[in-house]
Structure 1
Amino acid sequence: MKFSNTYSQLDGAFYQRISPEQVSRPQLLLWNDELAGWLQLTEEFCRDRALLAQYFSGNRLPDGADPIALAYAGHQFGSFNPQLGDGRAHLLGEVLSGNGQRYDIQLKGSGQTLFSRQGDGKCALGPAVREYIMSEAMFALGVPTSRCLAVVATGEPVFRETAKPGAVVTRVAASHIRVGTFEYFAARGDLGSLKTLADFTISRHFPDIAGNPELDNEEKILHLLQAVINKQISLIVSWLRVGFIHGVMNTDNTAISGETIDFGPCAMMGIYHPGTVFSSIDTRGRYAFGNQAAIGQWNMARLAEALLPLIDAVPEKAVARAEPLIRQFSRDFDLAYRQMLANKLGMATADEQSTALANGLLTQMQEQELDYTQTFARLTLSLKDAGLTQQLGQELGPWYDSWRTLLADNAITPARAKSLMAQNNPQVIPRNHHVEAILQDYEQNGGSDSINDFLTVLRSPYRLLPQTEKFQDLPADGDRHYRTFCGT
């Protein structure tokens, strides 16, 4: 790896410089060959599994790495915590991918830091494997996401409710700058660091803003806010398209880059219901499937609050300039959401008719307790399958006929509609019961015979492979009793 370390060149207020803890018996369990190639790692390096285990457990540091634990704050379930930070993670540095973009390489579960808050700094094997599976699935589904390069078993126990095998997961992300990073400095009144962070973020993630000579400093901050809002809208619409529930949309888990980050209590929705919640810690449904857009807007309001001192020295003027961007969030989201639903129904353009039709289907799905992914997948296939057309006509009644009529009225042929739908409606998702079965195998046996087939299918979610059917089945209880838990 050829590391550069631009974030660690900022002053010490942004991080703690600290090395990962040593582990006793590192063993490489999962290695992402495709991602390794994209990061331009050499084939010789990638073949040495013992060496990979040493590097990606934290026992050895790659040349040029400069490990740090990042400082940040965050609103957690609506309550502000002024100091969180990387309590069990070490950012090794940054590398350039094949397309010239800069990516962070971070170890998670790699030991205590200044920000551990009396935690052990460790990660159990199950959550590490979950992040690997889910991030690969999200990437293949076309959802902006961080990814995992490796999962290494540490050979040491981690104590949660019971003793569990420990692991270190290597996360690759566009960066680890969060809304909570801005909140950290704003809460301290450290305007110098806040300005440094904003300049760094603009330079790294939004070079078009940085290089625009027509923008003054205050206008650049407003453009930064708008750019982050746009990325969050795109991200959340992508989540809703595939039925993903993040489960813990705190501001410290909201990446400025617009990537999905932190897969602790995440899950996939089966039976459609906007109130679906699986996270055991989300007792009030704050982060339910259908609430994610509103929470996205709420999180962007917190970012705007943090940026106010950089927008204008007069608070009232700063609010007047930032508030319209936050208000516009819901309108822009609604347009993107309606367009997404139209695409899922084979229509390239959203209008009142497509929106009414989509809403009618969602209502019917909720009333009949239909599976979200399966319903749209079957609709897609029905455009070329007369038998499935008849089945869905009986199951969905007049709605199905109305949909086919609307396609015909808009001169959208079945082939054209199917092509668009096939790009937006996956045939398979990482079903919760299949994910849990694999995690259980790893925790009990140190591995799973099914994971390779599972990952093969998840990496081609819009195609029907010979193994796909094996992972399309619905859970026996409809996930009614399913719960996810925070990895800490």
Structure 2
Amino acid sequence: MSEPHSPASPSPAPLLWQHSLTQLGPQFFTRLQPTPLATPAWAARNHALASELGWSALLDDAHLSALAGNALLAGSDPLATVYSGHQFGHWAGQLGDGRAIWLGEAASALGLQEIQLKGAGPTPYSRRGDGRAVLRSSIREYLCSEAMHGLGIPTTRALSLVASPEPVRRETLETAAVVARVAPSFLRFGHLEHFAAQGDVDSLRTLVDHFIDHHLPQADERAPRWQGNRYAAMLDLVQDSTARLLAQWQAVGFCHGVMNTDNMSLLGLTIDYGPFQFMDGFDPGHICNHTDTQGRYAYSRQPNIAYWNLFCLAQALLPLIEDQDLTLQVLEGYKTGFPRALGDAMRAKLGLIGELASDDLRESDWSLVEDLLQLMAKQRLDFTHFWRQLSHAVAAHQEGSLAAFEPVRDLFVDRDSWQAWLSRYMQRLGAANFSEVGQSMLRVNPKFVLRNHLAEIAIRQAQSGDFSEIETLHNLLKSPFDEHPGFEAYADLPPDWARQLEISCSS
């Protein structure tokens, strides 16, 4: 039986709420109540995040009902927002929060944070869906959002995961779950596209002004660069944060899988963890989403897709910027900003930091990076494993001997090509302190990432009622650069059965 709604869950330390979004007008959202979930139980609680936020009391048992959607947090104002977007390159029209219910924005030690319950039931924007999320995909989101945070990559965060035996029909019959996730803002490119597509410039301006005033005040500081135009300055900041985000994704081998415009955060956060994957064998053309039959969102295409999405955002903002040439000029920043950010990230992976690099040196270093990536792709070397092995080799290198690099050499069939590349790399490092360089590499090349097979093991155990593997993975992934003695198996190459795993948009 489902638990009935109660006005508020007991709260020893009530959150201090603000609801600025609700003051904008009813065209932006629909107020509604979450749908109660049958027999909810904690599957995971992110005590570390709760402590960071100053919300530790929120994860006590008294708040289980509220974080399942069966009761309301005192002072919350649940609603679902409307947005539109381009999906797989085509205009999809009105979309909206189909299963995410926004509770409000609450004060925290990290500033105002919005709280959403994902999987808490249908909304007016569910498009004939049930508004639920299944345990399988919810575990993946809970773990990956925290894994990305551990890697230093901007992301929404997961506060809790609640499981239920309530049945949910997807390709097969599965069970339901609710993720409570937090972020400074959940506004997406699609929120702006929605009102631009309707020709509702007044509502578009209202929403963009709200976003700048509450979430991106730096736009007003940057406006003088763009003829005093705060909307052009906002676009500039969004393209810049998007460029840096994409560089970080590429540098760790992360594939998002569904980079639709409605899955792009205006704050440059990784959002909406569906068919994502950290690559195993390095393949620039890798497609992680089984539903993406055309390979639109393949790993190597992600940076260009981000630009395409930014162009859609720019079109939505054009009625406010009111200058097409200026708008296109702003977008040019991505074409230089992304390569520079990716170059810096890859140089750091090779330990080529600690100096102000000239353009010529950056170009030379990028040639070194490209040639190495081609070697890796030729042999489908495991992405995470290779970079970690190389880091250890550099850290252990002793002058006059290349013995420390033998484990890396053994990864290659074409050892001559590897040796030629290594000679260039060693020449580039020159008289560097190899121990220090190697240690810097170990701080950017993780030992642990959320590989598909690790998530799958946690899912299978959770489906049988054992949630312990979720906690184990969370503890490793929140500090992925540490060695974690005794947990080496979690950094091993994937088993053969992992190749059979298929991840789709179904969640």
Structure 2 gaps of 5+ residues are: 1-14, 398-402, 413-417
Name the SS of the counterpart of 2:266 in structure 1: coil
| 2:503 equivalent in structure 1 | 484
* Alignment: residue pair count: 476
Letter of the 1:462 partner, please give it. F
Whole-angstrom distance in 1 between the partners of 2:221 and 2:327:
22
1:4 pairs with 2:4: no
Name the SS of the counterpart of 1:358 in structure 2: helix
Letter of the 1:79 partner, please give it. H
Q: CA deviation at 1:450?
A: 2.6
Whole-angstrom distance in 2 between the partners of 1:53 and 1:399:
55
Q: Is the 8 A contact 1:144 1:260 kept in 2?
A: yes
In structure 2, the CA distance between the partners of 1:217 and 1:398, relative to structure 1 (3 Å rule), is closer
Whole-angstrom distance in 1 between the partners of 2:246 and 2:210:
25
Whole-angstrom distance in 2 between the partners of 1:420 and 1:475:
26
Whole-angstrom distance in 2 between the partners of 1:217 and 1:41:
42
| 1:392 equivalent in structure 2 | 408
| 2:66 equivalent in structure 1 | 55
Partner deviation per Cα, 1:156-188 (whole Å, 9 max, x = no partner): 111111211111111111211100000000000
Letter of the 1:258 partner, please give it. G
In structure 2, the CA distance between the partners of 1:391 and 1:42, relative to structure 1 (3 Å rule), is closer
Whole-angstrom distance in 1 between the partners of 2:348 and 2:164:
45
Whole-angstrom distance in 1 between the partners of 2:408 and 2:276:
31
| 1:315 equivalent in structure 2 | none
Q: Spell out the pairing of 1:67-466 with structure 2 (5 A cutoff).
A: 67-99=78-110, 101-210=111-220, 219-312=229-322, 318-348=323-353, 349=357, 351-385=362-396, 387-393=403-409, 395=412, 396-408=418-430, 411-443=431-463, 445-466=464-485
Q: CA deviation at 1:419?
A: 3.0
Q: CA deviation at 1:455?
A: 1.7
Q: CA deviation at 1:449?
A: 3.5
In structure 2, the CA distance between the partners of 1:448 and 1:388, relative to structure 1 (3 Å rule), is farther
Whole-angstrom distance in 2 between the partners of 1:213 and 1:298:
24
Q: Is the 8 A contact 1:24 1:156 kept in 2?
A: yes
Name the SS of the counterpart of 1:119 in structure 2: coil
| 2:8 equivalent in structure 1 | none
Letter of the 1:301 partner, please give it. F
Q: CA deviation at 1:478?
A: 8.3
TM-score (normalizing by structure 1): 0.94
Q: Is the 8 A contact 1:39 1:95 kept in 2?
A: no
In structure 2, the CA distance between the partners of 1:302 and 1:478, relative to structure 1 (3 Å rule), is farther
Q: CA deviation at 1:98?
A: 0.9
In structure 2, the CA distance between the partners of 1:181 and 1:218, relative to structure 1 (3 Å rule), is farther
| 2:11 equivalent in structure 1 | none
Partner deviation per Cα, 1:314-351 (whole Å, 9 max, x = no partner): xxxx2111112223312221111111111111101462
Q: CA deviation at 1:33?
A: 0.4
Provide the aligned C-alpha RMSD in A: 1.8
Letter of the 2:21 partner, please give it. Y
Q: Is the 8 A contact 1:178 1:254 kept in 2?
A: yes
1:35 pairs with 2:49: yes
Name the SS of the counterpart of 1:82 in structure 2: strand
Q: CA deviation at 1:477?
A: 3.1
Letter of the 1:346 partner, please give it. G
Letter of the 2:100 partner, please give it. A
In structure 2, the CA distance between the partners of 1:217 and 1:196, relative to structure 1 (3 Å rule), is farther
Partner deviation per Cα, 1:22-65 (whole Å, 9 max, x = no partner): 1221111111101111221244x53x32x222010111111110
Partner deviation per Cα, 1:408-463 (whole Å, 9 max, x = no partner): 1xx432123213212211111111111111112212x1234433322221111111
Q: CA deviation at 1:479?
A: 4.9
Name the SS of the counterpart of 1:144 in structure 2: coil
Structure 1 gaps of 5+ residues are: 313-317
- Percent identity, aligned pairs only, is 36
Whole-angstrom distance in 2 between the partners of 1:85 and 1:140:
29
Aligned partner of 1:23 among 21, 33, 37: 37
In structure 2, the CA distance between the partners of 1:464 and 1:235, relative to structure 1 (3 Å rule), is same
Aligned partner of 2:28 among 14, 36, 39: 14
Letter of the 1:188 partner, please give it. Q
Q: Is the 8 A contact 1:57 1:154 kept in 2?
A: no
Q: CA deviation at 1:263?
A: 0.5
In structure 2, the CA distance between the partners of 1:153 and 1:417, relative to structure 1 (3 Å rule), is same
Q: Is the 8 A contact 1:55 1:62 kept in 2?
A: yes
Q: Is the 8 A contact 2:396 2:438 kept in 1?
A: no
Partner deviation per Cα, 1:351-382 (whole Å, 9 max, x = no partner): 22211111111000011221111111111100
